[in-house]
Amino acid sequence: MKTRAVDARASKKSGNGVEEPSQAVDHIFDGVNREYQEMFSVFDSDSDGLIDKHEIFDLLEKSGILLNDARIQQTVEAIRKFSSPKINFSDFKATIGENSSLFKNIIQQRLIIPEFQTFCEEIREIFETVRSNRSGKVADYIPELGRIDPEKYALSVTTVSGQRYAIGDSQTPFCLQSTSKPITYCLALEEHGREKVHEHVGREPSGRGFNELSLNHKDLPHNPMINSGGIMSCSLIRSDLNLADRFDYILQAWSKLSGNARLNFNNPVYLSERETADRNFALGYFMREKKTFPAGSDLLQTLDFYFQCCSIEIDVEGLSVVAASLANGGVCPISGEKVFSSTTVQNCLSLMGSCGMYDFSGEFAFSIGLPAKSGVSGAVMVVIPNVMGFAIWSPRLDAQGNSVRGIEFCQHLVEQYNFHIYDSIVVDSSKKKDPRLKKNASKIEAVVQLCWAASQGDLFEVQNLISNGANPDGADYDGRTPLHLAASEGHEAVVLYLTSKCRNISPVDRWGGTPLSDAKKSGKLQVIRFLEEASLAHLAGNGASALQI
Ligand code: GLN
């Protein structure tokens, strides 16, 4: 306010009518003020200059932004502090303060999933459908995993806009097991770069079990997503530190990626892992014999570090934030902190996409088409790049060691939504939903594109759009259809094509015009002839497609 008063006093027009800087500042100020006013009026439905503070909280929750989201803590606390249930414009403006961009995005439905509630309801339905699948068996190679209730079941999703949703046993911790491997690999990449890391670990799917005693033709682990590769990544992380500090280092990365989620260390799991780790020891000795480890590595310490990483505990809520941080190119969406470089994440997602689901990875890449990583605790994290991250936890595993329900959930997910990475090139992917669009946005956009192509006489694009599902009878806000536009511009080939596709060849726009009257108005004789003949043919029930140019 002080700044405005000073500026207002200084405000003058120069002789030539050009605004002086103080006036420009005033304009910016007015623009900002108007934006706050617009936001305020969304809540102030009865225009009495007061809004119910719970409406703000309701909108946040409906949009998927949790009230404990670190980004809006100050705002939420400030709103709570008001003693009265209603707040006026200046209080609103003062409290929204530094979160104004986020609020603006929420109000204008510009978060990545605009209809978040609908999306959550649909996800819940899939979750419940999958619950009935009781096949598979809980891992029992250590007693701690064998004792887990097989009925445990949880799911959480976090979007790159920080929208969150969780169902089931979503706050019950489980150990990371192999879901730790992508993050261990990212840390190795951040420290050494891709070339150095891949001197020690390959990047091909192994096609074998996750703990198979085998190396590739260069005597390297096949990839960082199986046990040998996970052990190798561990050997590459902060070997200058003692074991306690190395563990702390990795825990900090998990904490940042998960937006400060609850993390535990399960000591019984760790002790059991170490006790029963003959195969992992064998892999370690095998790699040491082949001189695969970086110089100076201590094998027993490396294995210990690996068992510790497997024994970190998290819940699906936290793991979905980690998946979302990967989806978001290494930036945690609920804290805004950059944890990994985007190229590190790109490398990691590439390998999750080809190797993340053990020896089911090829089939998963084919049919689900998303980077994912599973662990023998029954956890699966799935990344939809630039959109969201999912975490599913259900302890019963299939023969490959993947969570049975986790896999089934993913299958339903890509059946309903266009999330498979190659859905974008499928002609009829319109059958799948795109939750990134506002309600009807895809239909509206298709009509706009079709009208534009028709007005330009771009027959190829018109055909392309219609065969991709655009409705040839669709109209814009004024009732103008592609046929109106093609007719008034005299694009004969497009008119002919559209008359063969439209159900109604005499649509009426808001001014009472039809394609034929438009063609007459602009004197497009050929088009007038087509349309008159087409009308007759339609009337005679022959359809217009028999017409020839
Ligand atoms: N602790 C397990 C092991 O090393 C991790 C493997 C997994 O989750 N697939 O055998």
Structural domains of the chain, count: 3
Ligand 1 mutation pick, 179, 210, 233, 280, max ligand atoms within 8 A of CB: 210
Q: What confidence category does residue 70 fall into, taking pLDDT thresholds of 50, 70 and 90?
A: confident
Distance from the CA of 133 to the center of ligand 1, in angstroms? 24
- My answer on whether 427 and 447 are in the same domain is no
Q: Percent of the chain having pLDDT more than 70? A: 91
- Cα 277 from Cα 117, distance rounded (Å): 45
- My answer on whether 128 and 81 are in the same domain is no
DSSP 8-state code for residue 378: S
Q: Which amino acid is at 431?
A: K
- Cα 43 from Cα 51, distance rounded (Å): 6
Distance from the CA of 286 to the center of ligand 1, in angstroms? 17
Q: Is 359 in the pocket of ligand 1 (CB under 6 A)?
A: no
Whether the per-residue pLDDT at 3 is higher than 60: the answer is no
Per-residue pLDDT, 8: 32
- My answer on whether 411 and 486 are in the same domain is no
Distance from the CA of 208 to the center of ligand 1, in angstroms? 14
Q: Which amino acid is at 517?
A: S
Q: Which domain holds residue 475?
A: 443-546
Atom number of ligand 1 nearest to Cα 377: 8
**Domain closes at, from 49, 76, 107:** 107
**DSSP code per residue over 234-303:** HHHS-TTS-HHHHHHHHHHHHHHHTTS---EE-HHHHHHHHHT-HHHHHHHHHHHHTT-SPTT--HHHHH
Give this prediction's pTM: 0.80
C-alpha distances out from residue 304 to 179, 223, 226, 300, 301, Å? 17, 20, 17, 6, 5
In a domain, 202, yes or no: yes
- My answer on whether 190 and 336 are in the same domain is yes
Q: What confidence category does residue 466 fall into, taking pLDDT thresholds of 50, 70 and 90?
A: confident
Tens-place pLDDT, residues 471-522: 899 998 889 999 999 999 999 999 999 998 999 999 999 999 999 999 999 9
In a domain, 112, yes or no: no
Whether the per-residue pLDDT at 14 is higher than 70: the answer is no
In a domain, 436, yes or no: no
Chain mean pLDDT for the chain = 90
- My answer on whether 204 and 308 are in the same domain is yes
Q: Is 387 in the pocket of ligand 1 (CB under 6 A)?
A: no
- My answer on whether 71 and 188 are in the same domain is no
- Cα 170 from Cα 96, distance rounded (Å): 30
**Domain closes at, from 431, 458, 483:** 431
In a domain, 13, yes or no: yes
Per mean pLDDT, which of 1-15, 57-71, 151-165 is the most reliable?
151-165
In a domain, 508, yes or no: yes
DSSP E strand boundaries for 256-414: 264-265, 312-314, 372-374, 379-384, 388-393, 396-397
Q: Is 211 in the pocket of ligand 1 (CB under 6 A)?
A: yes
Whether the per-residue pLDDT at 9 is higher than 60: the answer is no
- My answer on whether 81 and 138 are in the same domain is no
- My answer on whether 98 and 153 are in the same domain is no
Ligand 1 mutation pick, 138, 174, 212, 227, max ligand atoms within 8 A of CB: 227
Distance from the CA of 369 to the center of ligand 1, in angstroms? 24
CATH number assigned to the domain comprising residue 382? 3.40.710.10
CATH number assigned to the domain comprising residue 54? 1.10.238.210
In a domain, 123, yes or no: yes
CATH number assigned to the domain comprising residue 500? 1.25.40.20
Q: What confidence category does residue 28 fall into, taking pLDDT thresholds of 50, 70 and 90?
A: low
**Domain closes at, from 52, 79, 107:** 107
- My answer on whether 318 and 464 are in the same domain is no
- My answer on whether 251 and 229 are in the same domain is yes
Average pLDDT over every residue of 268-283: 95
Average pLDDT over every residue of 296-311: 97
In a domain, 284, yes or no: yes
- My answer on whether 487 and 416 are in the same domain is no
Per-residue pLDDT, 26: 60
- Cα 511 from Cα 517, distance rounded (Å): 11
Cα 99 to chain center, whole Å? 22
Q: Percent of the chain having pLDDT more than 90? A: 72
In a domain, 219, yes or no: yes
- My answer on whether 76 and 156 are in the same domain is no
Q: Count CB neighbours of 539 within 10 A.
A: 8
